[in-house]
Structure 1
Amino acid sequence: MRSRPTLTSRSAGLVWVLPLLLLGATQVLGQAQDVFARAEFSLTVELPETKNDTKNLLAQVDQQLQQQKWQDAIDTLERLISGHGNELIVQGSDQVDLGSQYVYYVELKTYLRRRISEYARQMPEFLEVYRTRIDSLARQELDAAIASRDPAQLSEAINTYFLSRHADEALLHLGDLLLEQGRFNEARTAWERISPRYRTPEDPQGVLLAMAGQPIWVAVDGVDWGKHRDTIRSLLDDNQASSSLATTADSDVDPAAVWARLCLASWLEGSSDRAAVELELLRQLHPGAQGYLGGRNVNYAEFLTKLVASSPGEHDSRHAGTWPTFAGSYARTAQADLPERAKTYKPNWSVSLETQSLSRAGGRNGFGEERELQRIPLVAESSDALLSTFPVVLDGNVIVADQERVRAFQIDSGLPAFPTEGSEFFDRDELDYGAFHTSGRRLDFDFNMRGRRRGSPLSAMSLKLIHALGPDRFTLASDDTKLVARIGTTAIGVPYVQSQFQDPADMVVFDMRKEGKLEARIPPVTELSGPWSFEGTAIIQGNRLYCGMIKSGVRDESAIACFDWTTSQMLWRRTICLTQPYGSGLVADGEYGFRSHNLLTLKDGILYYNTNHGVIAALEADRGDMLWLTRYPRRGLIPDKLEKAHALVQRNVNPCIVTRGLVITMPLDCERLLALDAATGQLVWQTVPGGLEPLHLLGTTKDDVLVSGEQLFWVHLHSGKIRAEFPSVHQMFRDRGYGRGALVGDQVYWPTRDKIFRLAAKLDSNGSVKEAALPVDLVQYGEEGGNIVVAGGQMIVASPSRLTVYSPSPLLEPEDNSSANDTNQ
């Protein structure tokens, strides 16, 4: 049994601290009751783009190629890649409506691979000179990488020798290896890089149904093959430069072998619609093609026809009995198992949570007198009782966190998961009940750590000194044995006076096999690094932590970082963009910070990041190489009151969903739900600006994205069309969303304040919403809705002030109802 940290009274040190607090509060109290913006918020996004000397070298390459100075051009290209390869360069853009544009960036080395391939297709002499220089070594390196069966080693070798005559076969092997590991998105991208023909070509005739560079299955879904077969074959055969991917200069790989693999990957992933379209393309263009697939030599079309018809082939992404992170998985797409006997639910046990509220310009949180303030208009939650807690479930335990503690409870009983000394004296209404870690509660006076006063009496009392925009959110992450929490203040870019009282939050790692033993504490700043902060809870994978970070200043610098948590060493940090801080632009300059809770998404070795600052980015997780970056149209964020500013940044825990080749996201500074191509970052679809007022991306079915706020919406996964909503607008006076729901089996659990609806996740044949089971009536138990997690056969609801675990219960039998009626009479 571990000893509990010594607890100290929250009033300790108030005699000498209070004058300092009043000094810090004077500035706040001096404001007008309504806080007005003093400067227009800038929507400008700065990126680490190519510099002038880089542009000069690019122009020099063009000139050398025109003059047929092949060796000089190759030398210059190698200088560019080695010295400037990580700089960003525009690859294209889409004008989607008046004054609204998406701009796409890639690293210079990726851009050059694509451009060199285009050079090589247009200038065979250049390609021959280049291959004479590299082919013998390329063959050895690629063969060794293939033999290693290490995707990272093989991918690096392919990129190094991309113009060799052996790169196409190596890409085929790479895709096969990734497919074996269930990394479907990466496998598809590897195969599509073999030739431009595997992406939509330029189509002056308008036969294809997608823009150039998009996945080909979208372009041929619904075409009249009998009428356009020859045209489509010709377009694909002649396609030389339309792919938004860097493709090989030429390829001897049988196209039918690639189409067959793309269809197989779609079927394995569970994308039955996409698999059917790709199978039809294979039938139309290569009906008699044969090759090695599924462990034997087969006719591709015949083999895949039987396979696709046999079963949906859905890859199992569920987490039976667990819910290890926000949204259930690092792809943010998990579906919980539907509990047996879940006819209805009844409360089993509950514990208290610390109620969170928004910062105000005055009143209770402004060190002033109580006075009535304008209501802060939030979606699906209340400003005085925020829905800030997002539980996880690991190894039969429910775990929650807040700013200063982490707590764990046995899911069946509600007893503390890890008994500690003195815990028997706590009751379930105390906030320390079940806590196995507390922070900032000891007076150890460590003045040396990072040159700041960590552990000072001010930190120990955890007083609410920080004024910051946006609701607080508390998420956790796990790899099933290690748990990660962000502990400490989540406010970023706060005024200097306030920042002296509390340090930015640390990333803390616990070993859950050893009763939550503290394994590592990683601070965001060192004495040399400057004012960095963690933006949200890190992803943990093996000995690595991946997290978003931000450096406060006149321009906030958003970045993604990778740490080795076993040593606290930063392995890499990649700058994404620079933007104006929300706190200074939205309200009064220099008087308010901003609460950031950005979460990364990890799928198939790729990190996807919604910065909420104008860009979405995809990075290779191992080394931090930028795969693509997309700048989206930002909305104006210039409110005239603090209350309105809170509402604009409410959607502050909104990671990307990555599924079926799409990255789906809804940034808080954008009025659209949008889907990007996971391989390129190119826009696939967007909703009409202002058409939705969403707060949560719940997940996806095979057909739809489920999006919730005060209503629940079904948005078609491949078109962005809003197909259904619940409740209908005229019913909203009765039932409004309240918290984050969950996908549970073939149902979606959607909470309101008074009940939890259980709806069919799939629309019926008429496109209508169906109730899958009776709603769970919370009012009869004196409970209310909140954020839902279903795991271990239980339903967990985190309301603003309580965590309640509900157990499945059969409905009352008819005789039970009659008995109850007799008793009431």
Structure 2
Amino acid sequence: MIDLTARITRSTGLVGALAFLLFGASQVYGQVGEVVRPEFSLTVELPEIKNDTKNLLSQIDQHLQQKNWQDAIDTLNRLIGSHGDELIARGSDQVDLGSQYTYYVDLKSYLQRRIAEYSRQTPEFLAVYRQRVDPLAKQVLDQAKASRDPAQLAAAIDDYFLCSYTDEALLFLGDLLLEQARFNEARTAWERISPRFRTPDDPSGVLLAMPGQPMWVAVDGIDWSKHRNYIKQRLNENASSSPLVTIPNSNLDPASIWARLCLASWLEGAEDRARSELELLKQLYPDSQGYLGGRTTNYATFLARLIETSHGTLPGLSAKNWPTFAGDYSRNGHAKLVQAPGTYRPNWSVTLDAQVLSQSTGGSTIDDQNDQSSPLIAETEKALNSTFPIVQDRVVIVADEQRVRAFDLESGLAAFPTGGRVFDQTDLEYGAFYSAGRRVDFDFDSRRRGNMLSAMSIKFLHALGVPRFTSSTDGNMLVARVGTTAIGVPMFQAQFQEAADMVIFDMSKQGKIIARIPPVTELSGPWSFEGTAIIRGNRLYCGMTKSGVRDESAVACFDWTTSQMLWRKSLSITQPYGSGLVQEADFGHRSHNLLTLKDGVLYYNTNHGVIAALDAQRGETLWLTHYPRRALIPSTRLDLAHSLVQRNINPCVVTQGLVISMPLDCDRVFALDAATGQLVWQTVPGGIEPLHILGATGEDILVSGNQLFWIQLHSGKIRAEFPKEARSTRDRGFGRGTLVGDQVYWPTRDAVYRLNAHLSKTSQVVEAGSPVDLAQFGEEGGNLVVSGDYLIIASPSRMTVYSPASSDVLPPQAQESDTSSN
């Protein structure tokens, strides 16, 4: 049994002492100072500011010191125009011994924040600047507001951020975004109006959060009767603690902003945050009135009535479809639980393209009969859970490197006539409406008899990491990455592989191909797609890698209707895993990185040392966080090297203003502020080894591997685990579970457990129904999807769809606990 008390560190000044309390000083110093530096490089190169940029920054400082404000403004505009995309560090957190997070923004944002702070101290400069830009700024902002286009308005605000009309424009922008249910963006727009909407400096140690963190966390549970006047004073005097670029001076009523923040929290389903913000509003601005809910009203009274009498919208709720990995592009989908079935029975099944890990030339290093010898989590090297189904309009879709297949959800018949030529459900071509031909990842000796190389016992495409197959939809449009998932393979092997393209299908026209986008053109160099793209409207967003001695990670945007690349933003350069982790030979690696899209912002876990947020419309870097990487020590055992990069399909989960991540090169789960990229919490390094982030409830983030864990969403405290102790390997997790209404379905090798997603009042795990016994049907666990009445399980070698065998009422103890937890 694992000790739950030893798994959380917070971004506070006391964190450095936590390691001493948990492990003892000598052991911690040994971990930091005595670890032998591995051959695999941990360095990450970023597009940081260059020397000529630094020279221009010095010139701005000189002009400001000498009060040559016109020259300062000219240099500022020149610097932003020519170097605005370069990154500059804006701070770092030493959250425990040897673990440092460093935060970056683009130079344009850095300069805006710096000049805004200078303007608060030197109003004369601000007056000169506004006299110069206000006439044009008003015209541009009025036109942008009249368009009601958030992207156009946001661009205008960035161009004229220090003008006299920016606060009104930000208020209007936030309202527009709220209308579109883009809650994170709306909150950020309102918080930029003044630094008072983030936690201020707190010399008395009264507040419960670090300066710059969201204010609701700082006052959640505070004793207002003792600290009301102090908190109000600190907020009114707060001038620079916000990490956001904020207006130098604004006359807007702060109560109107807090009312909007509270309303947005309620609409998003973040009820704890809404209640905390409502209490702040009651305590600091009890009599403030304004226009809300279609009439002029007292803010606190209106919102209190709203929160107490109804629930907001739950995040990520999906009625019937499962359009992408994790259910939606925020990677926090919840399937709708139509009924509470007593159990399920198999309805139909089809064969999947079973995958195995690349082996050493001398054969496997693992005893195939002994799962315990395998270092993999929730799968084994001979039983990989590689396939992740999606559901669109009662059609189940699966893909692999060579084909895309579709089946009717109820019957299992091929969804399209083009897939009806093969009637054997055990045939891999059954249901295939697209097939690229022969498979490229094969053994010469077993599949190329008679070839001149057949005597060679080698495997094509030696690649490090587990193959994964995903796809995504938007309306009738489906996108799949078709071709090899191996990147950076040796030249000899590369000549035989088929580079993966993004292929777009129109599902309303029986899967007709309407676009095919290759990663490489004659001028672009050796780029590859990292994973399946996000398709949204006519845009396609995807991670990309440029292979070489060092790999370059980037995010790209295409117009798939023309195959034109609209932008590509490079983020970092690092050593590729394939050449660094296997000593015996030259290996490529398999990459399946997925983007996350939430409220117009793309979040990217590169798995190479950085998490980044980008504006989806313009491709501008909003922030980039360099997290602490774990030492990946090269090994002669290929199976151990595979295990180091097993967690290779792990996009960020974005919910309630947090970005939850667990990169494969990091030994912890952590949460970043979605608006700034700053660390909110992290689990203790090495405390848990999860494989999947399943999603979030209002209280917890659920992660799974050999066990299922509940991690408190806003603190990082591990509140529960299931099972508490695995009696055998058959009790361990096997595949990816899913959130279904207020339940979580979690698979093992022999069963699917159905548990309440919400813990009881005493933080206990409660069963929501009897486990689904898969072993009795000769089936096994795998990756789960629930659509309507049907449970879909993609195991290593087959996909089986289950239908309810019966419906019954939850057990009395489950009913009682489920009610109390809500």
Q: 1:417 — aligned with what?
A: 415
Distance 1:38 1:404, change over 3 A: farther
Give a deviation string over 1:326-382, Cα, whole Å, max 9, x none.
00000000100113252210000001111100001125689xxx9999954100001
| 1:340/1:808 contact within 8 Å kept | no
Give a deviation string over 1:561-609, Cα, whole Å, max 9, x none.
0011111111100001000111111113861001000000001000000
1:427 aligned to 419, 424, 429, which one? 424
Q: 1:602 — aligned with what?
A: 597
Distance 1:736 1:155, change over 3 A: same
Distance in 2 separating the partners of 1:388 and 1:442: 16
Counterpart of 1:543, as a letter, is: N
Q: How far has the Cα of 1:503 moved from its partner? A: 3.1
1:729 matches 2:728: no
Distance in 1 separating the partners of 2:759 and 2:374: 35
| 2:377/2:706 contact within 8 Å kept | yes
Q: How far has the Cα of 1:504 moved from its partner? A: 2.1
Q: How far has the Cα of 1:315 moved from its partner? A: 4.2
Q: How far has the Cα of 1:793 moved from its partner? A: 2.0
Secondary structure at the aligned position of 2:335 is classed as coil
Q: 2:381 — aligned with what?
A: 383
1:686 matches 2:682: yes
Q: How does 1:185-224 map to 2 (within 5 A)?
A: 185-224=184-223
Secondary structure at the aligned position of 1:471 is classed as coil
Q: 1:506 — aligned with what?
A: 501
Query: Matched residues, percent identical?
Result: 68
Q: 1:404 — aligned with what?
A: 402
Q: 2:576 — aligned with what?
A: 581
Give a deviation string over 1:528-585, Cα, whole Å, max 9, x none.
2111100000000111100000001111000000011111111100001000111111
Give a deviation string over 1:635-688, Cα, whole Å, max 9, x none.
000132221110010000000000000000100000010000000000000000
Give a deviation string over 1:388-430, Cα, whole Å, max 9, x none.
0000001111010111000000000000001227x34430011
Distance in 1 separating the partners of 2:649 and 2:140: 44
Secondary structure at the aligned position of 1:356 is classed as coil
Q: 2:626 — aligned with what?
A: 631
Q: How far has the Cα of 1:314 moved from its partner? A: 2.0
Q: How far has the Cα of 1:316 moved from its partner? A: 5.7
Q: 2:818 — aligned with what?
A: none
Secondary structure at the aligned position of 1:729 is classed as coil
Secondary structure at the aligned position of 1:362 is classed as coil
Q: How does 1:4-43 map to 2 (within 5 A)?
A: 40-43=39-42
2:392 aligned to 387, 394, 401, which one? 394
Distance 1:801 1:409, change over 3 A: same
Distance in 1 separating the partners of 2:253 and 2:338: 47
1:345 matches 2:344: yes
| 1:38/1:587 contact within 8 Å kept | no
| 1:583/1:589 contact within 8 Å kept | no
Q: How does 1:549-698 map to 2 (within 5 A)?
A: 549-588=544-583, 591-640=586-635, 641-698=637-694
> Which of 725-734 and 95-104 deviates more?
725-734
Distance in 2 separating the partners of 1:238 and 1:772: 50
Q: 2:711 — aligned with what?
A: 715
Q: 2:171 — aligned with what?
A: 172
Q: 1:523 — aligned with what?
A: 518
Q: 2:746 — aligned with what?
A: 750
Counterpart of 1:222, as a letter, is: G
Q: 1:541 — aligned with what?
A: 536
| 2:94/2:100 contact within 8 Å kept | yes
Distance in 1 separating the partners of 2:425 and 2:318: 29
Q: 2:117 — aligned with what?
A: 118
1:762 matches 2:761: no
Distance 1:372 1:745, change over 3 A: closer
Secondary structure at the aligned position of 2:54 is classed as helix
Q: 1:51 — aligned with what?
A: 50
Distance in 2 separating the partners of 1:189 and 1:115: 18
Q: 1:80 — aligned with what?
A: 79
Q: 2:473 — aligned with what?
A: 478
Counterpart of 2:601, as a letter, is: I
Distance in 1 separating the partners of 2:307 and 2:371: 60
Secondary structure at the aligned position of 1:806 is classed as strand
Q: How far has the Cα of 1:441 moved from its partner? A: 4.4
Distance 1:166 1:800, change over 3 A: same
Distance 1:771 1:416, change over 3 A: same
Give a deviation string over 1:762-792, Cα, whole Å, max 9, x none.
0011110000000000111111100000013
**Aligned residue pairs, count:** 757
Secondary structure at the aligned position of 1:667 is classed as coil
1:706 aligned to 698, 702, 720, which one? 702
User: Which structure 1 residue ranges, 5 or more long, are not aligned?
Assistant: 1-36, 444-456, 814-825
Distance 1:654 1:245, change over 3 A: same
Counterpart of 2:624, as a letter, is: L
Q: 2:290 — aligned with what?
A: 291
Q: 1:128 — aligned with what?
A: 127
Distance in 1 separating the partners of 2:397 and 2:323: 10
Counterpart of 2:114, as a letter, is: R
Distance 1:424 1:499, change over 3 A: closer
| 1:356/1:384 contact within 8 Å kept | yes
| 2:200/2:238 contact within 8 Å kept | yes
| 1:375/1:643 contact within 8 Å kept | no
Distance 1:624 1:468, change over 3 A: same
Q: 1:152 — aligned with what?
A: 151
Secondary structure at the aligned position of 2:64 is classed as helix
Q: 1:227 — aligned with what?
A: 226
Counterpart of 1:402, as a letter, is: D
Secondary structure at the aligned position of 1:130 is classed as helix
1:810 matches 2:806: yes
| 1:747/1:760 contact within 8 Å kept | yes
Distance 1:379 1:336, change over 3 A: same
Distance in 2 separating the partners of 1:734 and 1:510: 39
| 2:255/2:288 contact within 8 Å kept | yes
| 1:341/1:809 contact within 8 Å kept | no
Give a deviation string over 1:696-742, Cα, whole Å, max 9, x none.
00000000000000000000000000000000125455511000000
| 2:783/2:795 contact within 8 Å kept | yes
Q: 2:489 — aligned with what?
A: 494
Secondary structure at the aligned position of 2:125 is classed as helix
Q: 2:767 — aligned with what?
A: 771
Q: How far has the Cα of 1:237 moved from its partner? A: 0.4
Secondary structure at the aligned position of 1:230 is classed as helix
Distance in 2 separating the partners of 1:702 and 1:811: 27
Distance 1:784 1:242, change over 3 A: same
> Which of 488-497 and 639-648 deviates more?
639-648
Secondary structure at the aligned position of 1:756 is classed as strand
Distance in 1 separating the partners of 2:682 and 2:340: 40
Distance in 1 separating the partners of 2:61 and 2:691: 48
Distance 1:111 1:442, change over 3 A: closer
Distance in 2 separating the partners of 1:759 and 1:201: 41
| 1:374/1:643 contact within 8 Å kept | no
Secondary structure at the aligned position of 1:327 is classed as coil
| 1:321/1:793 contact within 8 Å kept | no
1:780 matches 2:776: yes
Distance in 2 separating the partners of 1:196 and 1:628: 18
Secondary structure at the aligned position of 1:613 is classed as coil
